[in-house]
């Protein structure tokens, strides 16, 4: 598949490498060219090598997609300063980059950093999370972005002392020439055997944890704690991550479908929750908390939504999230605006209370920095923090890894977007670990909270158990 005219792209990269040779230090050289109709995520899945990282991000209703393969550079960190460390690494390479072809193009084109962060500062401790660092943002060798009905390909090379940029460029040229645009595979309707599904902890223990959380909240000091549970789906053959991604973007077109892949596994999901979108001095986010199921009967579905809007328990849970987000942004912004009352966000199997929030930043802050300032919101952590975090560690007894952490991308101008990694699964060969949680307030009912996690698990579990 000839996605691009290779010669002009390589000529631009060669010219940049020659200019970089006069600098002495490491220099990012990047070139962007338009491409014909392309499915960025399909290209990434079908063209990636088994040993390299890859990243896919798509919100079909918005017409935006980003696919990335390989690693020209990366930033890895851990601990409480991991967002600042990564933001500094990205800025140091992007700020002095020699970029051609990306001027005036939309956010997401040109050199773009992709990846995510674990929920906890030191990341996942269990073996299944070993290839997912507490913080990882990667500058891919090749990325494709599609927005507004147009698509662009970007190629990146880092030049500098001790780096054979010419050799890397030759390899990159071969990679670009061999890119494939095959369609994503369909999920196999029948497996040769049954998928085993089990909870890592008995559901009754989750209910007990919810009951204990409500007692602690009633005792004072906490207003909300988010507790999650984990379900493992073990298939008779390896799960097909590409087919899963293709299915979820079809089923949840308004959500952020994402996939962060390593040589050992893939973290994939379809999240309804935007953590932030930065565009210059403008920032937008959404407070999302309070949930109920959907119905195929429109009248019943509307009734369920109306019940959710009138639910004192869910409105209380939602108010805690919205209030903290607004309070956090006021420290960073000239102004912050939030809708006075929540509305409904409806996806295929669930509906949520949602309050859009927009702000104008008082000073420049990158998308990665902003993710660190907002994470974790009470939608996935609790209030107040870090007291809620101590309760989670005590009651949840689960390694969240990247679940409920920020996942997304940031371009060379430091614009970008991150979602909260919900409705997600960690997939390693035949094993898929799925995660779902709920916000616990004083009025929470343990059985109802367990049922809510089942609804949320219903986003991906049916696709993995086919």
Q: How many CB atoms lie within 10 A of CB 242?
A: 24
Task: Give me the phi and psi of 413, to 5 degrees please.
Answer: -85, 0
Query: Among positive and negative, which fits the CA dihedral 118, 122, 124, 127?
Result: positive
Query: 369 catalytic, yes or no?
Result: no
Residue of 74, 77, 35 whose CA lies nearest to 52: 74
Residue of 46, 45, 48 whose CA lies nearest to 56: 45
The answer for residues whose C-beta is within 8 angstroms of residue 134's C-beta and 6 or more apart is 77, 78, 79, 82, 117, 118, 120, 121, 122, 123
Residue 128 half-sphere exposure toward CB, CA atoms < 13 A:
19
| CB contact at 8 A, 187 and 463 | yes
In the chain, what is the greatest distance between 2 CA atoms, to the nearest angstrom? 69
Cα separation, 320 vs 328, in Å, equals 12
Query: 456 catalytic, yes or no?
Result: no
The answer for residues whose C-beta is within 8 angstroms of residue 300's C-beta and 6 or more apart is none
The answer for residues whose C-beta is within 8 angstroms of residue 369's C-beta and 6 or more apart is 83, 84, 87
Alpha carbon distances (Å) from 137 to 86, 87, 279, 404: 7, 9, 19, 17
**Annotated catalytic residue within 230, 273, 319, 452:** 273
Q: How many CB atoms lie within 10 A of CB 365?
A: 18
| CB contact at 8 A, 324 and 308 | no
- DSSP for 296-310, written as a single string: SSHHHHHHHHHHHHH
Tokens of 123: 């990341």
Cα separation, 419 vs 98, in Å, equals 29
Q: Bridge-partner residues for 159, per DSSP? A: 27
Instruction: Count how many residues are written for the chain.
Output: 466
| CB contact at 8 A, 94 and 366 | no
The answer for residues whose C-beta is within 8 angstroms of residue 357's C-beta and 6 or more apart is 284, 285, 286, 287, 322, 325, 326, 329, 336, 337, 338
**Annotated catalytic residue within 133, 141, 224, 317:** 224
Task: Give me the phi and psi of 52, to 5 degrees please.
Answer: -110, 160
Q: Bridge-partner residues for 228, per DSSP? A: 437
Catalytic residue list: 224, 273
């Amino acid at each position: 598949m000839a996605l691009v005219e290779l010669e002009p792209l390589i000529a631009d990269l060669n010219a940049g490498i020659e200019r970089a040779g006069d600098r002495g230090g490491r220099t990012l050289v990047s070139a962007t060219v338009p491409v014909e109709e392309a499915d960025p995520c399909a290209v990434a899945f079908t063209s990636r090598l088994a040993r390299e990282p890859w990243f896919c991000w798509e919100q079909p209703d918005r017409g935006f997609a980003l696919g990335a393969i390989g690693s020209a550079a990366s930033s890895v960190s851990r601990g409480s300063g991991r967002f600042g460390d990564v933001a500094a690494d990205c800025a140091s390479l992007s700020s002095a980059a020699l970029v051609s072809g990306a001027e005036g193009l939309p956010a997401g084109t040109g050199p773009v950093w992709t990846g995510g962060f674990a929920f906890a500062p030191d990341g996942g401790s269990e073996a299944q999370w070993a290839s997912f660092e507490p913080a990882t943002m990667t500058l891919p060798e090749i990325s494709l972005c599609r927005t507004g009905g147009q698509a662009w390909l970007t190629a990146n090379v880092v030049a500098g002392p001790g780096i054979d940029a010419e050799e890397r460029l030759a390899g990159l040229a071969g990679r670009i020439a061999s890119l494939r645009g095959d369609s994503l595979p369909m999920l196999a309707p029948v497996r040769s055997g049954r998928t085993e599904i089990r909870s890592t902890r008995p559901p009754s223990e989750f209910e007990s944890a919810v009951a204990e959380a409500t007692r602690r909240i009633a005792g004072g000091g906490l207003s909300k704690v988010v507790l999650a549970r984990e379900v493992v789906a073990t298939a008779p053959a390896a799960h097909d991550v590409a087919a899963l991604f293709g299915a979820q973007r079809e089923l949840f077109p308004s959500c952020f479908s994402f996939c962060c892949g390593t040589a050992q596994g893939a973290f994939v999901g379809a999240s309804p929750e935007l953590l932030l979108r930065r565009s210059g001095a403008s920032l937008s986010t959404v407070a999302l908390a309070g949930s109920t199921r959907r119905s195929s009967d429109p009248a019943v579905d509307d009734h369920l939504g109306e019940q959710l809007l009138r639910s004192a328990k869910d409105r209380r849970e939602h108010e805690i999230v919205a209030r903290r987000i607004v309070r956090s942004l006021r420290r960073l912004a000239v102004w912050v605006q939030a809708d006075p009352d929540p509305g409904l966000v409806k996806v295929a199997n669930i509906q949520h209370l949602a309050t859009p929030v927009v702000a104008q930043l008082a000073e420049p802050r990158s998308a990665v920095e902003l993710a660190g300032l907002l994470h974790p919101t009470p939608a996935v952590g609790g209030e107040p923090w870090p007291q809620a975090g101590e309760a989670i560690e005590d009651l949840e007894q689960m390694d969240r890894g990247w679940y409920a952490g920020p996942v997304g991308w940031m371009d060379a101008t430091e614009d970008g977007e991150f979602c909260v990694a919900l409705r997600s699964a960690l997939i390693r060969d035949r094993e898929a670990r799925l995660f779902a949680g709920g916000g616990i307030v004083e009025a929470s009912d343990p059985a109802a909270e367990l049922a809510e996690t089942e609804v949320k698990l219903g986003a991906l579990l049916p696709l993995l158990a086919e």
